Amino acid sequence: MKYDTGSCRILEKQQLTVDIYDVTVDAGKLALLAKPGQFVHVLVPGHTLRRPISICGIDRAANTLRLVFQVRGEGTAQLAALNCGDSIDLLAPLGRGFSLGNTGRKVLFVGGGIGVPPLLEAAKPFGENAAVVLGFRSREAVILKEDFEQNGNRVQIATDDGSLGHHGLVTDCMEALEAEHFAFEEVFACGPAPMLKAVIRAAERLGVPCQVSMEQRMACGVGACLGCAVKLRREDGGEYYGHVCKDGPVFRARDIVWED
Amino acid sequence: MADLKVTIAGVPFQNPLIAASGTFGFGREYAEFYPLSTLGGISCKGITLAERPGNPPPRVTETPGGMLNAVGLQNPGVDHFIKEDLPWLQKQGTVVIANIAGNTPEDYCRMAEKLSYTAVDMVELNISCPNVKQGGVQFGTSCAGVEDITAQVRRFCKKPLMVKLSPNVSDIGEIAAAAESAGADAISMINTLTGMRIDIRTRRPVLRNNTGGLSGPALLPIAVRMVWQAAQRVKIPIVGMGGISKWEDAVELLLAGASALQIGTVFFTDPYAPVKILDGLNQYLDRSGFSSVSDLTGRVCPW
């Protein structure tokens, strides 16, 4: 079995920012199947489509999954209103996560906003070999900084308004790491499209491979309905539509064709 | 336990629940949840003569009581289906229905001919895809169009032929009668209703295709009404679909005149829906003293 549905009890719930929530659920056997970078598809009672949420943490000993999500509309608002003891129906774990490779290598994680959570579990095994650059609008929007520090990662924050950390872009921090001769061998990124494009360009300039986690409006979550299309490049240069739920959400940056 | 078996156009189904085309791929993803023999049949993702890339994203969005999709018939083409998907599907212990869509009558005829010499159990003629300019809906919205394409495909199709009707028409009874008179062995209905949503912040349509096909629970009353109207016009069996999400909905469509059912969008809400619907249907039949699911077909008592 690769994935299944399950009723999962909320064990912990915390509000991290004005619109971001952090819940830990008892996911039973689903937690044992989960890998960093995969996602869960959450049923919202009364709604036709589930809501895809990235997996932020996996505790195989406790059979729990940690989900950090942003309230975007009615469905996620309904999820945010649930409390400890309530149950949510998950279809999980879904998609292809990060290929971590040798965790003794120096690597770089770059996250922006609500793109930060899927990186946390992936960065864990790298410890101090991972530099983590996280970008947010402002100090108030910062999430998971301490969690990455607990991983033993080297964490840097960039904010648009300079209210915490570097005043500017995550790619400025990439350049600073380069100047400090932190020779990372691979980049793992998730965040808004403009950030991803800039990170991919920077990685290309350095000749370093890059994996990015993508999002798209989604229906089935398992690769049957072909809803969550993303344009990809074949080895032969031809283009086709792959799907975030099954071929991703994590893709090799060089395979992605940016359409806008 | 009541008898759930139904026979549509000479094809025996172990139960009346069929996965609707486009919601179930070629079955592999849902075989993770249960054996595909749980279902009476699978109507495969719509296939075209040549591979189609599909529409640019976003292709799906939620709506009140349902969703819109504009996938645009992304598929690997009929030859790939026959070579790569059908051999696996035919071993799953369920009826395999090939759903075909095309741009010209010749496309449909060539596909029907190719499929005639394969293991598919039935061909579903998709003349109702609203998301592709030339995906067949041009044939599906007038009686003359339906009659012409059905008659042409009929000549090449050695398999039982089911015609899938569009609800985007003024008189569904006329359309159903046209399909029957042109030689259809069954009709399936309804495909999606054309819809649209707009992002009020960007003033852009949510779907990149601007419009899409509406499916999900919101469709149920329209499907019930249209199946009821069509059932009064044709003698061939009707495979009813549109918004079924629970066993009660399935019973309604059967009572309206359907002999079998397709379920689709509910897979996205609950992949286990067919198991639950069959269980509820069985209990309802036992409670109501029906020995066979076929006894429900058309048994509505209209005022």
pLDDT of residue A57: 98
Please indicate whether, in this complex, the C-beta atoms of B74 and A246 are within 8 angstroms of each other.
Answer: no
For chains A and B, CB pairs below 8 A equal: 100
Collapse the DSSP code of A184 into the 3-class scheme (helix H, G, I; strand E, B; otherwise coil) and give the result. coil
Instruction: Tell me which residue in B22, B32, B62 faces A48 most closely, judged by beta carbons.
Output: B62
Q: Which of A212, A228, A246 is the last residue of a domain?
A: A212
Shared domain for A166 and A180, answered yes or no, is yes
How many angstroms from the chain centroid is the CA of residue A79? 19
Closest by CA to B260, choosing from B95, B38, B37, B18, is B18
Identify all chain A residues contacting B29, using CB atoms and an 8 Å cutoff: 220, 222-224, 246
Instruction: Tell me which residue in A5, A48, A217 faces B58 most closely, judged by beta carbons.
Output: A217
Shared domain for A82 and A174, answered yes or no, is no
Number of domains into which chain A is organized: 3
Summarize pLDDT for B102-157 with one digit per residue, the tens. Answer: 989 999 999 999 999 999 999 999 997 666 666 667 788 899 999 999 999 999 99
Identify all chain A residues contacting B23, using CB atoms and an 8 Å cutoff: 220, 224-225
Shared domain for A124 and A196, answered yes or no, is yes
Please indicate whether, in this complex, the C-beta atoms of B71 and A226 are within 8 angstroms of each other.
Answer: yes
Shared domain for A49 and A29, answered yes or no, is yes
Q: Is residue A102 part of a domain?
A: no
Summarize pLDDT for A98-123 with one digit per residue, the tens. Answer: 999 999 999 999 999 999 999 999 99
A58: CATH: 2.40.30.10
Question: Are the beta carbons of B293 and B2 closer than 8 angstroms?
Answer: yes
Domain ranges in chain B are: 6-296
CA atoms of A246 and A91, how far apart (whole Å): 13
Phi-psi region of B265 (alpha: psi -120 to 50; beta: other; left: phi over 0): alpha
Tell me the pTM.
Answer: 0.96
* Per-residue pLDDT band at A244 (split at 50, 70, 90): very high
* Other Cβ atoms within 10 Å of A115 Cβ, number: 22
Q: Which of A51, A73, A94 is the last residue of a domain?
A: A94
A122: CATH: 3.40.50.80
Is the reported ipTM for this assembly greater than 0.85? Answer: yes
Q: Is residue A101 part of a domain?
A: no
Q: Which of A59, A94, A129 is the last residue of a domain?
A: A94
A177-191, B85-99, B105-119, B185-199: which range is least confident on average? A177-191
CA atoms of A5 and A93, how far apart (whole Å): 9
To 10 degrees, the CA torsion angle through B57, B60, B61, B62? -170
- How many CA atoms within 13 Å lie on the side-chain side of B21? 34
Mean pLDDT, residues A185-204 taken together: 96
Which CATH class name applies to B6-296? alpha beta
Q: Is residue A244 part of a domain?
A: yes
Q: H helices within chain B, ranges in order?
A: 78-80, 86-89, 105-116, 137-140, 143-156, 172-181, 220-231, 247-256, 266-269, 273-288
| Residue A53 lies in domain | 4-94
CA atoms of A228 and B60, how far apart (whole Å): 7
- How many CA atoms within 13 Å lie on the side-chain side of A62? 13
Q: Is residue A228 part of a domain?
A: yes
Question: Are the beta carbons of B19 and B42 closer than 8 angstroms?
Answer: yes
